[in-house]
A and B are shown apart, each in its own frame.
Chain A
Amino acid sequence: MASNTAIKVSNLTHTVTSNTGDLTILKGINMEIKESESVAIVGSSGSGKSTLLGLLAGLDVNTSGEVFLYDQAFSGQSEERRALIRGEYVGFVFQSFHLLPSLQAIENVMLPAELKGDKEARKKAEVLLEKVGLSHRLTHYPNQLSGGEQQRVAIARAFASNPKILFADEPTGNLDEENGKLIIKLLFELNQSQGTTLVMVTHDNELAKMCDRQLVMSAGQLTEKSL
């Protein structure tokens, strides 16, 4: 694998067992995403986009095939090891923000750095929150923030660990147009300024078009959409 490859997937298959029998959601996926690239994964509901994202980030264990993040193989690794790899390489932005309700905005942003034992966590979090325009909301709790503000805190948190890869799951799905645009702008700005690889699952065509590449998920298969 070339050194500028951030993610490499080969022959990735994922099968889940349900009441009606085994269901294969991903059928032999192969792809490669380069460092600093922005990639949108699009497709209809239930096509397997989120499952793919989960497997790319090591949140789940695939049935067969291989996933590599910067030469690190996820497949067959223990939950412990996968968590360590995530901590080192990965940041997340979710559709429903997923801030910890018991923590203030700044504390949410400090978490990833704190997990790494970074003593500068607070200072870094203040800088990041300032970048997303929330320096006046540091000590607010998530339920005291609007949806757009919560997602901006989530983005600040995602970048707090200086991730090499940022996974975003429908980052604008719960936001109005205006806030959605603001979030997208922030995501791409940080993606570019920090050289982060961006992998985003979205329904939003406009958003997908802003990415370097678009991958279309359909019936468990992934195809490249020509731009």
Chain B
Amino acid sequence: MSFTFRLMLRDLRSGDLLTLLLALVISVSTVTSIGLFIDRLQLSFEQESANLLAADRLVRSDDELPDEWKVKAEALSLRYAERISFTTMMFADNSLQLSQLSAVTEGYPLKGAYLVDDTLFGTGQSSTEAPQPGEIWVSSRLASLLNVQIGNQVDVGDATFTVTKYLVRDPGSSTSAFAISPRAVMNMADLAATNVIIPGSRVRYSLLLAGERAALSEYEDWITPQLNEGQRWQTPTQRGERIGDTIGRAESFLLLAGTLAVIMSGVAMALASARFVKRHLMQVAILKTLGATPKLLGKVFFQQLFTLFLAGALIGLGIGWAIQELIASILSGLMSTALPEPSVSRLWLGVATGAISMLVFCLPLMSHLIKISPLSVLQPNAKVELNTVFIYVIGFMGMYGLMCVYTNGFLLPSIMTAAISAIALFVAGIGWMAFKLGRSLTSGATSGWQIGLASLYRRLVPNLFQLLVFTLIIMLTLILIGVKSNLIADWQQQLPEDAPNHYLFNVQAEQIESINDATDALNVPRSDWYPMVRGRVIEANGESVEALYPEERGEPELYERELNLTWSDSIGKGNELVAGDFSANGLSVEQKAAQEAKLSLGDELTINIGGNIITLPITSIRTVDWGSMQPNFYLMLPKSALEDYPANFVSSLFIDETAAQPFYKAMSQFPTVSILNVGDILKQIQSIIGQLSKAIQLVLFCILSAGALVLLASVRSTLEERLEEGALLRVLGAKSALVRQALLVEFGALGFFAGIIAALGAEACLFGLQVFVFNSQASVHPLLWVLGPVIGVCVISTIGIFASRTVLKVPPMLLLRGL
């Protein structure tokens, strides 16, 4: 065995290298486990969301799909299917009905499954196959409207089809959730025979894709530049859609958590390296007096670090993998679907964290270590000047770079760096004052209390540093707790258990009473009825919309299309007035729509309703909770402006499983009423949110465990001085109880200060997050102010006493000799 490894094994035995190895293992395993776990969750979210899209990716077009799109998909070994959706009239014996028909190719859906049933208004079994040629599946409502049953025939254009199933859910239907005609699905092979699609028909063509992520993103890069107006690339987690936002926020949270893991790993490595170097300074000087050349020492340390890195990375990867497997297995019972296997390619992140931590924290310190003058053995003051600024600048740059790689951007790392720097300055200022105060209160130290408090000032710099580390970790904990409860509360609020899951459209005024009776008889909760009149905004403040947006690009939603207009005496559930007077004789505009169109109170809009033009001022602005599943409107008009127009009414209902069948049967008396079932989509969204909440709690737990280990490393870094002082006190006759009390007071006070400052910092950060990120009301979190100091005092005292237990147990003589 070479000298390097013999020396290394001896060092390992002494525990110094072990501390470094431990920090490296923590580093690699935390980042690996969180990275892998986040990857699996992302894959899982994508899969779940892919079920809503019926594919991994989708390209939508208003024109026929170019063949080269399919050729490219084949070239990239992607599976694909096509769907053509259009509205058409369907005929059966004596009835006819406008319906939403989809023609699909073999293999559709690529993801998820159809729900079909042989019984009218049944709840359905899944089917991953599309209808065969000659077959058609119709929704129960369409079947009732056409008065057909399974086995009957229906006509679409020139072709005739046999009804073979009742369609309960079309997996891709959520993308057009507001298409309100009853649905049917047929095989693409039959489409040509129908002759219903003629040039100029309103048809939506979709190319659905599924396959490897890399191939999908290559396809995206290829197709995006070719897309023109009326063509869109869709991913399962499209921003702006509710499910996309939910997952987006969860991803941000997990990314934040992962970045914190990176920072904590860095701190752990920095602390362990500093301790290693401190303890080896004299050893290197001695080795030099014995004839070890700087070159040899350089080689020895480099080999040691490299071996350590290999060992740490391997053990860390193993532990990281095991931890994420453990989390996944705990979660498996809670999740609706099995988590996909993690991508092995994500392992590089943990290895890179370990490598960069070693490079930026260990290597510069080690190279200084090698430069120590051998004269130190004769003159202890002749130690090498450590250029700590240089080392920490390198360390900081390394960590910053790592965070950038990790988050794939600069924003989050920059914000976090700025925040941590500000906190460091603040902590240094407050800590210095508090420690000084502690000392002035305790002159003539005799009790454990006084010795403990006085120690804070005596070891000012290390204690300030520890205070910063403690504060940061407690603060991060509190922020994560705050964000977690905010996120989860936000989601739960978004989707209450009894959120409406059905909409009723096209209801005539005279039908309302009978429908009310029917739903009341079934005990089905229902929202208010809102009249709907179609209208289009044509002018804003006297200027025509066409003049404002000549190229029809970037039009605000308010001007883009025909809107459903309504009136109401009260502002309605899920709406909140933010400006103006709702009862005034003018327009009430939804806040985001108003902001997008740059409208404010007093601006005038001209609206074309069935050829009649009316101009009204904006008299109120509302916020709307779009997640409430209540009927919601961008524009509300005064009753006087709309009451003379013929209106359809809309309402939303919550129908549970037991009420479903009788409800559908009751509604078959009202064949003209459109029913939109969004319950299945909601269920899927709720299951995703359920998974997210569980996952976030587990990730939080992981981060906190890593935080506790960093705290331990930080306490160990100043252990020697504490040991020396404790031993001296005991030599001078102090009882163990006094030493223990002094240590408890010192750690307790550090924890208390850290907890208070952390609560303050967390409160400030949460304020920012609530206002700017989650767009929710800012609130004070009294719990944090209790949790902060309590966590601080309890955790830090426990860790401190645990780490310093040798002070109390080992005979003082042994301690002094060992120093």
A interface residues with partner B (beta carbon < 8 Å): 50, 53-54, 57, 59-60, 79-80, 83-84, 86-88, 90, 92, 94, 98, 100-103, 107, 111-112, 114-117, 142-143, 157, 161, 169
Contact = CB atoms under 8 A, between A and B. Distances in A.
B732 interface: no
A143 B373 CA distance: 25
Contacts of A101: 14, 818
B457 to A, nearest CB: 26
Q: Is the interface of A mostly helix, strand, loop or mixed?
A: helix
Contacts of A142: 817
B378 A84 contact: no
A83 B375 contact: no
A60 B373 contact: yes
A103 B378 contact: no
B377 A84 contact: no
A116 B607 CA distance: 96
Given A80-B295, A111-B287, A59 B374 contact: yes
A44 to B, nearest CB: 17
B462 interface: no
Contacts of B295: 80
Contact of A87 (B283, B291, B379, B817): B291
Contacts of A60: 373-375, 382
Given A84-B291, A143-B818, 18 more contacts: A50-B378, A54-B375, A59-B373, A59-B375, A83-B296, A83-B374, A84-B293, A86-B288, A86-B374, A90-B289, A98-B282, A98-B289, A102-B11, A112-B290, A114-B3, A115-B3, A117-B3, A157-B290
11 contacts: A60-B382, A79-B293, A79-B294, A84-B293, A86-B289, A86-B291, A87-B292, A92-B289, A94-B378, A112-B290, A169-B378
Nearest to B379: A50
B10 A90 contact: no
Interface centre among B16, B290, B814 (most CB of A within 10 A): B290
A115 B378 contact: no
B809 interface: no
Nearest to B382: A60
Contacts of B289: 57, 59, 86, 90, 92, 98
Nearest to B17: A102
Interface string B292-334: 1111100000000000000000000000000000000000000
Nearest to A110: B6
Given A92-B377, A94-B377, A111-B287, A102 B293 contact: no
Contact of B291 (A53, A88, A169): A88
Contacts of A100: 283, 286
A161 B291 contact: yes
Nearest to B291: A87
B105 to A, nearest CB: 72
A200 B131 CA distance: 102
A157 B287 CA distance: 12
Nearest to A88: B291
A115 B283 contact: no
B598 interface: no
A59 B294 contact: no
A88 B374 CA distance: 16
Contacts of A83: 288, 291-294, 296, 374
Contacts of A87: 290-293
B13 A102 contact: yes
A54 B379 contact: yes
In the complex, which of the residues A57, A59, A117 has the most CB atoms of chain B within 10 Å of its own CB atom?
A: A59
B381 to A, nearest CB: 11
Interface string B272-291: 00000000001100111111
Contacts of A57: 289
A113 B432 CA distance: 50
A125 to B, nearest CB: 13
A87 B296 CA distance: 12
A117 to B, nearest CB: 7
A90 B6 CA distance: 24
A176 B287 CA distance: 27
A197 to B, nearest CB: 17
Contacts of B290: 86-87, 92, 111-112, 115, 157, 161
Contacts of B282: 98
B294 A80 contact: yes
B303 to A, nearest CB: 15
Interface string B5-23: 0100011011010000000
Given A80-B294, A86-B289, A59 B378 contact: yes
A23 to B, nearest CB: 14
Contacts of B378: 50, 53-54, 59, 94, 169
Nearest to A87: B291
B278 to A, nearest CB: 13
B385 to A, nearest CB: 13
Contacts of A59: 288-289, 373-375, 377-378
Contact of B287 (A79, A88, A115): A115
A19 B374 CA distance: 23
Given A60-B373, A114-B3, A102 B291 contact: no
Best-surrounded residue of B6, B294, B373, B374 (most CB of chain A within 10 A): B374
Contacts of A169: 378
A143 B294 contact: no
A117 B287 CA distance: 14
Nearest to B818: A143
A139 to B, nearest CB: 11
A100 B292 CA distance: 14
A83 B286 CA distance: 11
A50 B291 CA distance: 19
A87 B295 CA distance: 14
A143 B14 CA distance: 12
Contacts of A107: 10
Contacts of A114: 3, 6
B291 A90 contact: yes
A57 B373 CA distance: 13
B11 A116 contact: no
B764 to A, nearest CB: 44
Question: What 5 A-B pairs are tightest by C-beta distance, nearest first?
Answer: A87-B291, A102-B14, A143-B818, A83-B293, A59-B374
A54 B285 CA distance: 12
A79 B814 CA distance: 36
A84 B293 CA distance: 6
A112 B374 contact: no
A116 B382 CA distance: 27
A102 B284 CA distance: 13
Contact of A112 (B291, B375, B818): B291
A83 B382 CA distance: 17
Contacts of A143: 814, 817-818
Contacts of A103: 10
B12 to A, nearest CB: 9
B3 to A, nearest CB: 5
A157 B294 CA distance: 20
A209 to B, nearest CB: 24
Contacts of B294: 79-80, 83
Contacts of A94: 377-378
B291 A116 contact: yes
A70 to B, nearest CB: 15
B10 to A, nearest CB: 5
B440 to A, nearest CB: 30
A115 B296 contact: yes
B719 to A, nearest CB: 15
A55 B290 CA distance: 15
Contacts of B6: 114
A53 B289 CA distance: 12
B298 to A, nearest CB: 10
Nearest to A57: B289
B503 to A, nearest CB: 74
Nearest to B814: A143
Interface in B504-524: none
Contacts of B379: 50, 54
A75 to B, nearest CB: 15
